[in-house]
Structure 1
């Protein structure tokens, strides 16, 4: 007998509708999965193609960077050389410097031309400065007038100090820090100091103070010759790294350099300032090498215009030349 119950018909209709919706959801999920796989393949293909294109289009800039580094090194060596050989007048210094760089550039350009490259390094500007030195190793660190506390150099525009080095006779240093020789470098209202003294034994104490707060203090053996080399610019003592020393040269305009208890140290020293003598106050120095601490004209630094060209590369840069 046929089921004519209307409720049975409704249940069958609902079951059919549920199956239809389930099939639609399944088909939709499969379609989305296929779409995601396709997108992933397209994305991977694009990334791979981009990588290939980058590698294929890459230009080797290593020779240009190497040439710029060589130019900087050659310029720094030229500055050192002419400062010690042609230190009578600024025109002579500049002429000697440009001539030295020109000769190096001629040789370097020829070397690069063998490989088909065009290279050039030209002096764009020279910063005239002043070198301060004491080269009598048997003299103490007092001024030319034998003042133990004195101003080495100051100037409203003095803002750069480099190549600061001391070679001290350890046997002549004070015992302890109270009356020890020290250098004060004041800039922007902040004073940084370097103390050198015997530490009560056979070693020498090298202490760095930043505006009244001790930044570092280390002991060093002066060695068989009894001389301790303190290289402030290089940040080392007797070749051992001492980076805190470099904080003394973190200066700006209006820098002042002072020596205190100069009678408690003996040896040699040197430094190069970024202003000519005419713009500085140098009350404790003389202008000739007569055994007293003295000053001479010097090149503080320079800038170069470097170019390097190949069939695939056109490189230009301005580099700063400032030896430590």
Structure 2
């Protein structure tokens, strides 16, 4: 009787120990799974073929860039649209793709706007002057320094003079300072140069325009003309235009500085015009499979890289 009871006790003890060990294995595996997702930044790392956190963030950022071009909304209103409209429409797409590739389910939580800013646009072709017509002025003034993103220019060759330069100065807090000079030339060509040594002469005009992505240093009419205006600089820029009456065209940029009341800009309908923008936002997502459920840590995404 004693031997049988002892045997039963040993059996119960062995089962208990096995359950404890199994629990520890599950805890460790879940912790490792969560750590991989959180530290590596993508759920592909945890399971092949699923949706990456970066893809989720970029999808939301793309919607934010479109919303920032809407002068009828405040940053708070744009933030609300991302939360109540963008995410509900985005989730089914992510879920379908996730299920097709990895059998997983993705839900997205738009936590909040992390930082607001200003979207500045001149969307009607005219000189690159202030609203008062000053050819030398600061689109981002001293005392309101900010980071810069989404900086695009389209030079209207027919409406610009030839032979005289227009220059953008970008002065970084603590240096170095950089400049980009654009000079329309005769023969339907434009010269582009930077203070970092880039010189592009004879850039051809296409459909009467030359398009420049200043942020990424790309000239669409001449892909061999590339530059990096912001390399080695620190965000917190004062931006100055000189010779704004020498060229005409359109441009836009976004900054994390509040320029909505800056007197160099005008009200809606004038050129150029500022409006509130979403500069960065915070979000998280859930990756759910039959084996585990992982909630990512909150991530902050800049709308403009």
With over 3 angstroms needed to count, the CA separation of the structure-2 counterparts of 1:90 and 1:185, relative to structure 1, is same
Is 1:316 aligned to residue 303 of structure 2? no
Greater Rg by CA? 1
> Post-superposition shift, 1:302?
1.8
Post-superposition offset of 1:208: 1.2
- Structure (1 or 2) with the greater helix fraction: 1
- Alignment partner of 1:67 out of 52, 64, 86: 52
1:278-317 superposed matches below 5 A? 282-290=262-270, 292-310=271-289, 311=291, 314=294, 316-317=296-297
Point out where structure 2 has 5 or more consecutive residues left out of the alignment.
1-44
**1:78 has 2:63 as partner:** yes
Answer yes or no: is 1:163 the counterpart of 2:150.
yes
Equivalent residues of 2:112, 2:283 under 8 A apart: yes
1:187 aligns with 2:168: no
What SS does structure 2 have at the residue aligned with 1:285?
A: coil
**Partners in 2 of 1:181 and 1:119 — Cα distance?**
49
1:129 alignment counterpart = 117
Which residue number in structure 1 is paired with residue 20 of structure 2?
Answer: none
Deviations 1:14-49 (A, max 9, x none): xxxxxxxxxxxxxxxxxxxxxxxxxxxxxxxxxxxx
Cα distance, 1:141 vs structure 2: 0.9
Deviations 1:243-262 (A, max 9, x none): 42442794423x21111010
Cα distance per residue 1:200-255 (max 9 Å; x no partner): 54421111114xxxx201131112x11000111232111626542442794423x2
Instruction: Output the CA distance in 1 between the equivalents of 2:146 and 2:234.
Output: 6
Equivalenced residue count is: 254
Q: Which runs of 5 or more residues in structure 1 are unaligned?
A: 1-58
Question: In structure 2, do the counterparts of structure 1 residues 156 and 303 end up closer, same or farther at CA, with 3 Å as the change threshold?
Answer: farther
Question: Which residue in the other structure is 1:231 paired with?
Answer: 213
Contact 1:87 1:297 in 2 (8 A): no
- After superposition, residues 144-293 of structure 1 pair within 5 angstroms as 144-154=131-141, 156=143, 158-176=145-163, 179-188=164-173, 189-199=175-185, 201-210=187-196, 215-219=197-201, 220-223=203-206, 225-238=207-220, 240=223, 242-247=225-230, 250-253=233-236, 255-277=237-259, 282-290=262-270, 292-293=271-272
User: Are 1:107 and 2:98 matched, yes or no?
Assistant: no
Displacement of 1:165: 0.6
TM-score for the superposition, normalised by structure 2: 0.73
The alpha-carbon distance between structure 1 residues 259 and 164, as it changes in their structure 2 partners (threshold 3 A), is same
In structure 2, the CA distance between the partners of 1:159 and 1:307, relative to structure 1 (3 Å rule), is farther
- What RMSD in Å do the two structures reach over aligned CA positions? 2.9
Distance 1:274 1:316 in 2: 26
**Separation of aligned partners in 1, 2:112 and 2:127:** 37
**Cα–Cα, structure 1 residues 102 and 313, in superposed 2: closer, same or farther, change >3 Å?**
closer
